[in-house]
Amino acid sequence: VAMAATRSVMRAVRVFEFGGPEVLKLQSDVLVPVPKENQVLIKVHACGVNPVETYIRSGTYARKPALPYTPGSDVAGVIDSVGEHVSAFKKGDRVFTLETLSGGYAEYAVAAANRVFPLPDKLDFRQGAAIGVPYFTAYRALFQKGCAKAGESVLVHGASGGVGLAACQIARACGLKVLGTAGTEEGMNVILRNGAHQAFNHRDPNYIERIKACTGPGGVDIIIEMLSNVNLDADLQLLSYAGRVMVVGCRGRIEINPRDTMSKESSIIGVSLFLATEEERHECATAVLDGIEAGWLKPIVGLEYPLEKVAKAHEDIICSSGARGKMVLLL
């Protein structure tokens, strides 16, 4: 009797019910996925942790995956095998992706080949895991939705995390005047080293007045907003005529006076990378790969956790004070 071929197993984080960080279960007997046509299997070396993954896990997010599932999308690693019709990659290639099909908090992940990009040797796997969602989101917020132009000013409100630092680097490289806020001295230094012309501490009670003094009566053209449920009302006071607030992050409700938008004909625009068209994704990817090649795109890695500490990572990304770069899981 012919024996069925045994499929190998791997360690992966599984979520069987929505809830707090404790629902993240590390299992060691998960089957390694097999890439179908136009897919690749990546041996994961590092996986980024994004705030949105905590919202999805809690069950409060608009998009709910079918249970059980493995979280994680920003993966960097090495191609292990490729499905049919894949010619762009071969076993052994260093790659990163911002979207996996099987989940990134795992030793292996399957991704669509057209969502995978080569990882240059000048970046390590930890940095590779910090590219996808942060840089694509920052580029989309600034240019595809925010219509940023060289010579304009941008305030990155909460600039020391993954998306914030990406926004600072991209905006600076593209000729904008960059202001950033952070919650710690260290965070302020990080953003100044990564493209911000000026940094402000958003824990300082007078920081809004300081930004106003810096921008003068003209105000700021674009605000990239990471915590709109706290800052949106103040943001509207900081804008220039025809200024726009790009809502990248939000953790609740806020009350604003819509008249504040009328007096300056300003806009509040939501940003969701999930809604990008194929064409827009391609534009993001091109800009990002060009930035890596040019040398100004340098992902800053913050806290690092082994897969066993994934629950702690989910707790820290929401509760810890003062982000410094992109949080990653190391495998």
- Provide the domain limits for residue 312: 9-130+299-330
Compute the distance between CA of residue 305 and CA of residue 310 in angstroms, rounded to an integer: 7
Report the distance separating Cα 291 and Cα 143, nearest Å.
Answer: 15
Kindly give, in sequence order, each residue whose CB lies less than 8 Å from that of residue 163, ignoring residues fewer than 6 positions away.
133, 134, 137, 138, 141, 224, 226, 248, 249
In this structure, the answer to whether residues 139 and 270 fall within a common structural domain is yes
pTM value? 0.94
What value does the mean pLDDT take over residues 142-155?
98
Per the structure, the count of domains in the chain is: 2
Round the CA-based radius of gyration of the chain to a whole number and report it: 20
By three-state DSSP, how is residue 102 classified? coil
119 is a domain residue? yes
Same domain for 151 and 267?
A: yes
pLDDT tens digits for range 176-233: 999 999 999 999 999 999 999 999 999 999 999 999 999 999 999 999 999 999 999 9
Cβ pair 125, 79 in contact under 8 A: no
Whether residue 318 sits in one domain with residue 216: no
Q: Give the model confidence (pLDDT) of 257-301 as tens digits.
A: 999 999 999 999 999 999 999 999 999 999 999 999 999 999 999
The CA-to-CA distance between both ends of the chain, in Å, stands at 38
pLDDT at 63: 87
The tokens for 82 are 């490729």
Asked whether residue 53 falls in the same domain as residue 169, the answer is no
Q: How many CB atoms lie within 10 A of CB 298?
A: 16
In which element (H, E) is residue 14 found? strand 9-15
